[in-house]
Amino acid sequence: MTVRELAEHYREKELGEGCGKTKLTREVYGHHLDSYILPRWGNERIADIKTFRVEAWLKTLEKSSAVKAKVKGVFGVLFQHAMRYGWADRNPIRAVRQSVKHLKEPDVLTSEELEPIINGLSEPSRTLVITATITGLRRGELIGLKWEDVDFQNGKINVVRSLVDHIEGQPKTSTSRRPVPLTPALASVLASWKQQTSYSKPGDWVFASPYDLGAKPYWPDMLLKRHIRPAAIAAGISKNIGWHTFRRTAATLLLSIGTSIRVTQELMRHASPVMTLGTYSQALSEDKVDAQVALASRLGLGVEQAQPAAV
């Protein structure tokens, strides 16, 4: 059996409709098969795939460590499938060494750097950056927000979906589905944007794109490329800024203002191998709200801006 034949069987059994995997997951697996694995290994027999050969091949890919690790993961899943059907008695990919570590430490922004970036942005990029930094929401969670998810009355944002390439899926983990606090300062910012946007009904996207007549949200990477990075450059900031920069920045600033590690993990909705979900849930809501209020203050969103406009 060739790797291509194995991949075809895997698609049929594991990536078809009703397989239990989300549409996004199926597309990601298909992408890694078609773009990396099959062009190189498709015509080879699965019996000829050796650990050292795959390891050497991954080193030649001009991709990030994270991408290489995902390619290795999909390749390994293929061999698990082969073992399940008795076509292989071992998984050579399991022993492949491939680090997921960044080649350099990712950039984070200081509050002094964030302020001029925010001040240099127009809407909706300004509200996006403020929301991303205060809540620590992931890109897909942020762009996937609908107004019905923003609970102004009870002071929370419900995280119920994630959008990647405009494909809707579930948040990353069960921990990711926990709501995040909506502090008065952030509520004021979001309420102001709600008054400006033409798409403010409960079922509308918070960051609905007028180019799609509100049917879809903005493309986050387009906003990053055309507005956010230029605003950073105009402010004299040369750091490599991506959407995850704001999530890392949120965690860093929370710790820098004295927020406990436990509360920070709660706010970031990180699962931990050490602390159980029950331990996380013991972090007091007041602590989390106070932490975000302090973070909003560091961004220049003080008490005078904390009263939400009428929604």
Residue 22 within a domain: yes
Same domain, yes or no, for 241 and 122?
A: yes
Query: Would you say 162 and 140 are in contact if contact means Cβ atoms under 8 Å apart?
Result: yes
Under 8 Å between Cβ of 117 and 228: yes
The domain in which residue 149 lies consists of 111-305
**Residue 232: per-residue pLDDT:** 96
Q: What is the model's pLDDT at position 272?
A: 56
Task: Examine residue 164 and state whether it is found in any structural domain, yes or no.
Answer: yes
Kindly provide the residue ranges of all beta strands, DSSP E only, lying in the chain, ordered along the sequence: 150-151, 156-157, 162-164, 167-169, 180-181
Q: How many other C-beta atoms can be found within 10 angstroms of the C-beta atom of residue 37?
A: 20
Contact in structure between 206 and 218 (CB atoms under 8 Å): no
Question: Are both 127 and 273 inside the same structural domain?
Answer: yes
- Report yes or no on 105 lying in a domain: no
Choosing from 95, 127, 162, the residue where a domain stops is: 95
Burial class (CB in 10 A: 0-12, 13-18, 19+), 23: exposed
Could you tell me which residues are beta bridge partners of residue 18? none
Q: What is the pLDDT of residue 153?
A: 95
pLDDT of residue 234: 96
Last residue of a domain, one of 95, 126, 157: 95
Same domain, 280 and 182: yes
* Residue 274 confidence (pLDDT): 41
Rounded to the nearest 10 degrees, the angle between the axes of helix 243-256 and helix 261-268 is 160
**Pair (91, 175) in one structural domain:** no
CATH code at position 69 = 1.10.150.130
Q: What is the CATH number of the domain that holds 272?
A: 1.10.443.10
**Cα gap 170→272, rounded to integer Å:** 20
Residue 186 lies in a domain: yes
pLDDT recorded at residue 307: 52
Written as one string, the DSSP assignment of 188-250 is HHHHHHHHHSS--STTSBTTB-GGGTTSSB--HHHHIIIIIHHHHHHTT--S---HHHHHHHH
- Residue 138 falls in which region: left (phi positive, over 0), alpha (psi -120 to 50) or beta: beta
Q: Which residues of the chain fall below pLDDT 70?
A: 100-105, 172, 271-288, 302-311
Q: What is the pLDDT of residue 303?
A: 53
**What per-residue confidence (pLDDT) applies to 34?**
95
Q: What is the pLDDT of residues 37-60, one digit of tens each?
A: 999 999 999 999 999 999 999 999
150-198 pLDDT, tens digit each: 999 999 999 999 887 787 877 767 777 889 999 999 999 999 999 999 9
Tokens of 59: 């080193």
Domain membership of residue 106 (yes or no) is no
Q: What is the dihedral of CA 266, 250, 285, 293, to 10 degrees?
A: 180
* 3-class SS of residue 157: strand
